[in-house]
Amino acid sequence: MSAPAPADAALSLRAVGKNYGRIRALDGLDLVVPRGSVFGLVGPNGAGKTTTFSIVCGWLRANRGEVDVLGEGAFDPARHRGRVTALPQDSALGRDMTVVEQLTHLGRLQGLGARETREEVERILALVDLTDRARDRVRTLSHGMLRRVGIGQAFLGDPELVLLDEPTNGLDPRQAHTIREFIAAQRGTRTIVVSSHNLHEIETVCDHVALIDRGRVVMAGPVSAVTGRDDEVRITLAEGPVPLTETRAALAGDTAEWDEADRVLTLRFQEKPGRAAEDVTGAALRALLAGGARVSSVARGQSLERTYLELPALPPEQKP
Ligand code: ATP
């Protein structure tokens, strides 16, 4: 018998497999989403993100493995209705309904009472900035507005787990920014899983991330750990001297790796009492400047985009 899902997990998938005929969409996917986190799911086209969402929401059944939603087993409408909501990649809305009718209908389907639904719909319309289009028919909305109705319906009521498949896809920059801020502000109040190809978005909005490829998780953890922000500082130098020996001598055991092509010096350290990242960075910068180096930039860790691009490709024998 396998170990139970961690008690603090909102979502746990173990060794989940899903085939569409001969296509292996999920190939032993392991994922633990901590309660209260904003969790990013990142991966190339066809990696299995939408399939994962569909299985969590009960729209599809896995062929193998275990899925535990809110610590209560696989999705079951009787247990999870209204507590787990989703913005699908292509949300199907009733095109002849008005926006307010659509949201009201969905609120009632979730089990909200008439008055509660009215209040919720007003709150959601303001959130997604569609109050002035509330009486318009869904078919008359632009693509970005439709997306915003979809995001709004995912937050109707008080869901504990919200799955958002590419939420800001097609939104203008201002709306995308508003939605990102809203999602980030939900941290700690509910669990949100966001899939996106926008790695900057995942990095700014999420506290945890899983990188998936060909139906498997290839890297996962807190964003700060995955991007090395916890234990890495990158110093970029302009043309000029690189006093490596002196800098390494100043680091008292921590390492400094020089990349000549990118002219980046990567400091790797372990924070200890009395020696924080700032102390290590300061020691390295003093040695570099004393040796005549010209510092262009200093950054904690590397961007999620770079982490993603540097991931080794899966070996061919693991190809589905
Ligand atoms: P994208 O980033 O392009 O949205 P994704 O990570 O969401 O991709 P999925 O849509 O889950 O990936 O697809 C995973 C794999 O399963 C792909 O190889 C895809 O072609 C296949 N697949 C998905 N849905 C179906 C389906 N209904 N029938 C057959 N194959 C499917």
DSSP letter string, 115-157: HHHHHHHHHHHHHTT-GGGTTSBGGGS-HHHHHHHHHHHHTSS
Output the pLDDT for position 309. Answer: 87
Mean pLDDT of 45-61: 94
Is it the case that residue 316 has pLDDT exceeding 80?
no
Which pTM was predicted? 0.84
Determine phi and psi for 287, rounding to 5 degrees: -65, -40
d(CA 69, CA 154): 17
Q: Whose CA is nearest to atom 4 of ligand 1?
A: 45
Strand locations in the chain, DSSP E? 9-20, 23-34, 38-42, 64-69, 84-87, 161-165, 191-195, 208-213, 216-222, 232-237, 255-259, 264-268, 295-300
Output the pLDDT for position 89. Answer: 72
Output the pLDDT for position 315. Answer: 55
pLDDT in tens, 277-309: 888 999 999 999 999 999 999 998 888 888 888
Ligand 1 atom nearest 18 alpha carbon: 16
Is it the case that residue 210 has pLDDT exceeding 90?
yes
Separation of CA 54 and ligand 1 centre (Å): 11
d(CA 87, CA 210): 19
Separation of CA 51 and ligand 1 centre (Å): 6
Q: Which of 2-11, 78-87, 206-215 has the lowest mean pLDDT?
A: 2-11
Q: Whose CA is nearest to atom 11 of ligand 1?
A: 48
Mean pLDDT of 234-239: 96
Output the pLDDT for position 287. Answer: 96
Output the pLDDT for position 2. Answer: 54
Mean pLDDT of 66-85: 92
Output the pLDDT for position 1. Answer: 46
Going by C-alpha positions, the residue among 3, 24, 16, 2 that lies closest to residue 61 is: 16
d(CA 173, CA 187): 22
Separation of CA 46 and ligand 1 centre (Å): 5
Q: Ligand 1 — pocket residues by CB below 6 A? A: 20, 23, 25, 43, 45-51
Separation of CA 52 and ligand 1 centre (Å): 10
Separation of CA 239 and ligand 1 centre (Å): 46
Separation of CA 166 and ligand 1 centre (Å): 14
Q: Cα separations (Å) of 129 from 133, 169, 172, 268?
A: 9, 16, 13, 45
Is it the case that residue 71 has pLDDT exceeding 90?
yes
Q: Is 286 helix (H, G, I), strand (E, B) or coil?
A: helix
Per-position b or e across 129-156, b if 16+ CB within 10 A of its CB: ebeebeeeebeebeeebbbbbbbbbbbb
Confidence class for position 314, pLDDT limits 50, 70, 90: low
Q: Whose CA is nearest to atom 29 of ligand 1?
A: 20
pLDDT in tens, 127-150: 888 999 999 999 899 888 888 898
- What top-level class would CATH report for the domain 1-83+159-221+304-320? alpha beta
Cross-strand bridge partners of residue 69:
11
> Does this chain's domain 1-83+159-221+304-320 share its CATH topology with 232-302?
no
Is it the case that residue 313 has pLDDT exceeding 70?
no
Is it the case that residue 273 has pLDDT exceeding 90?
no
Mean pLDDT of 204-222: 94
Separation of CA 20 and ligand 1 centre (Å): 9
Round to the nearest angstrom and report the end-to-end CA distance of the chain. Answer: 27
Output the pLDDT for position 128. Answer: 87
Mean pLDDT of 48-64: 95
Output the pLDDT for position 91. Answer: 66
d(CA 149, CA 170): 13
Going by C-alpha positions, the residue among 207, 230, 215 that lies closest to residue 33 is: 207
d(CA 56, CA 31): 11
Output the pLDDT for position 3. Answer: 56
Residue with the two structure tokens 């043309």: 239
* Correct CATH for 232-302 of 3.90.550, 3.30.70, 1.10.10, 3.40.50: 3.30.70
Q: Whose CA is nearest to atom 13 of ligand 1?
A: 46
Ligand 1 atom nearest 52 alpha carbon: 11
Share of the chain above pLDDT 70, in %: 95
Mean pLDDT of the chain: 89
Confidence class for position 318, pLDDT limits 50, 70, 90: very low
Q: Whose CA is nearest to atom 25 of ligand 1?
A: 20
Ligand 1 atom nearest 54 alpha carbon: 11
Mutational pocket test of ligand 1: of 27, 42, 50, 52, the residue with most ligand atoms within 8 Å of the beta carbon: 50
Going by C-alpha positions, the residue among 192, 127, 198, 141 that lies closest to residue 166 is: 198
Mutational pocket test of ligand 1: of 16, 18, 20, the residue with most ligand atoms within 8 Å of the beta carbon: 20
Is it the case that residue 5 has pLDDT exceeding 70?
no
| Residue length of the chain | 320
Q: What is the DSSP letter of 9?
A: E
* Domain range list for the chain: 1-83+159-221+304-320, 97-151, 232-302
Separation of CA 319 and ligand 1 centre (Å): 15
